[in-house]
Structure 1
Amino acid sequence: MHTGEPKTPQARTGRANQKLRTRRALVQAAVELMRTGRDVTMLEVATSALVSEATAYRHFPDLPSLLQEAMAGQMPTPAEALASVADSRDPVERIAVATEHLLRLVLTYQGATRAMIAATITRPEAAGARPAMRFGLIDHALAPLDDTLGATDPAAVTRLKNDLAAVVSAEALFCLTDLCRLGPEEAIASVVRTATTLTRAALSGDEPIGGRPVAQH
């Protein structure tokens, strides 16, 4: 049976280049759609990139993996995010800046953030596709504790980071805007207040019930 001439190196290179161009087009389309703050779907990304949805899925197994690649390089590093408090050694001040920074990013990329949360709630095994920026921000914000509380009670720092991970989050923001019906600014202020209260309590030794026993005065 005649199968035609074998592909030349030039033909293989051309096909590889076309795949790369298509992948880049999908990522760029996702970036542009994310910046609108609107809901993002694989179909919408594919349409914007001038390819079929099936083609998009050949390059990315699911929407979270595409959004993860699209977000890479778009977000500032923790050090860049906390540049305004780079000289501060106050963990409370630093966590306030980190919290507000994250939540404003969430609002900017709200549609993409909601899509990633939805995907990982229904498929917990895909949680690794989420950027998880909160952890880097929290670690950088609490870096001054390495030589203080971290040196004397590292478990307390670990507890604080775990507590903050539940608060410095898109989920906390959406709870306040969607369920409590707060406006964005009021919701951000509430989350910042909670995050700084947790941090201040850990530094004073008056951790909330569920951590160490609350100090008796």
Structure 2
Amino acid sequence: MESAPGRANQKVRTRKAIVDACRDLARSGAEVTMPQVAARALVSEATAYRYFPDLSSLLQEALESVWSGPEEALAPVAASTDPAERIAFATAYLLRHVHAHQGAVRAMISTTISAPTRAGARPGMRFALIDHALAPFEDLPPAAMARLKRSLALACGAEAFFVLTDLCGLSPDDAIATAAETATTLTRAAFAAGA
């Protein structure tokens, strides 16, 4: 009979194998499903579900270490005093990562659309990037800033990227450029109106 510490160690190794397998699939850009994760982790699907009740909880844990925080992500434009430049950079940064990890992003969106109560489980990278990009600017009244942030959430999110690539037929680079241009236009318009 295996000792209690041995079982505990095996559980830690199994959990790590499942998370690592999910992270590897996410980095590959391939479709991410629980059966694929389980196969890559060399465990049964039932075992994977014992450790994670659903795919979104597994994706959330697996993706935590894949994305940089907003300070690190926006370091190249940290000295910029142009809110539109900072937002354009944030948009391009986010959508390059969406493209690179699109299988995982699509799975997370699908999961939270079919179960809206799980929407809070989605990583909030878009909002953190928008907030950080606009943090230095107090030119806008709070209500105008809140409206701008909501508009940017539409323009620079994964959903916008998938509309541009899947429905409009743009290449990933053209989709990113289009979204960054849209985010720039929204930002300039909001600050011009605020002035």
The reply to whether residue 176 of structure 1 matches residue 164 of structure 2 is yes
Q: TM (normalized to structure 2)? A: 0.96
Deviation at 1:11, TM superposition (A): 2.1
Q: Which runs of 5+ in 2 are unaligned?
A: none
Higher relative contact order (CA 8 A, sep 6+): 2
Q: What secondary structure, in the 3-state scheme, does the structure 2 residue paired with 1:205 have? A: helix
RMSD: 1.5
How many residues are matched?
195
Q: Name the residue aligned to 1:157.
A: 145
The structure 1 residue matched to 2:61, chosen from 52, 66, 69, is 69
Q: Is the 8 A contact 1:90 1:144 kept in 2?
A: no
Q: Name the residue aligned to 2:123.
A: 131
Q: What secondary structure, in the 3-state scheme, does the structure 2 residue paired with 1:144 have? A: coil
Q: Which runs of 4+ in 1 moved over 6 A?
A: none
Q: What secondary structure, in the 3-state scheme, does the structure 2 residue paired with 1:57 have? A: helix
Cα distance in 2 for residues equivalent to 1:87 and 1:116? 33
- Judging by fraction of residues, say which structure has more helix: 2
Q: TM (normalized to structure 1)? A: 0.87
Alignment map for 1:115-126 (pairs within 5 Å): 115-126=107-118
Q: Name the residue aligned to 1:190.
A: 178
Q: Name the residue aligned to 2:79.
A: 87
Cα distance in 1 for residues equivalent to 2:79 and 2:124? 25
Q: Name the residue aligned to 1:214.
A: none
Q: Percent identity?
A: 61
- Which residue identity is paired with 1:48? R
